[in-house]
Structure 1
């Protein structure tokens, strides 16, 4: 090798840091960055759903909560809000169904179990 290679010549610190963060995150050791586009999308969907629910547009709000659940299957807030919408609409079958899905998907599911037992 006639030319000496300089240390760090082909090293991009930002890219390496991003890769390192992603690898650590796979192991669940760090939280995703707040600016993460997926998290922002979920937060935006939740906010829009709450707004629509407040305006009485329950079906539209329910659709947005379903999108949140599809993207983040263990979202207790989305399951809770969707179950409450079904309750407001008097749709007991859908309320039971979403509560059962919440019990299967969420780690902290005692409240969902309690609500399901109250319906039955």
Structure 2
């Protein structure tokens, strides 16, 4: 044992040393969280919005769904998906997303009104 460690009353010194050694062996082996272009929800939203503006709806839909997967109550992502499906004329997909938005978002009155309007 190279460094002096203090052990509390509830711990066995050998057991504590074993735990510390195992943790030491793990250092540097833990994979960092997702790195790269889409390392946050903000970046996902920004990329999705750019794709949507470029009429690349299928790609934008995937990213908005990823945002919803990571942040299930994201009203902005739901609104964007609903608008894309509306532009595409996909009423069934629009209804499905509206229903999910209603169940997952706290402030969902607008979603309820939109669903009533298209049903």
After TM superposition, is the score higher than 0.5?
Answer: yes
Greater radius of gyration (CA): 2
Counterparts of 1:92 and 1:59, CA distance in 2: 16
Counterparts of 2:40 and 2:87, CA distance in 1: 26
Shift of the alpha carbon at 1:59? 0.8
Alignment of 1:107-118 (within 5 A): 107-118=106-117
Cross-structure match for 1:90: 89
Alignment of 1:1-120 (within 5 A): 41-120=40-119
Counterparts of 1:69 and 1:100, CA distance in 2: 14
Counterparts of 1:41 and 1:91, CA distance in 2: 29
Could you tell me which runs of 5 or more consecutive residues in structure 1 were left unpaired when the two chains were aligned.
1-36
Structure 1 outlier segments of 4+, above 2 Å: none
Counterparts of 1:68 and 1:102, CA distance in 2: 13
Cross-structure match for 1:13: none
TM-score normalized by the length of structure 2: 0.67
The number of aligned residues is: 83
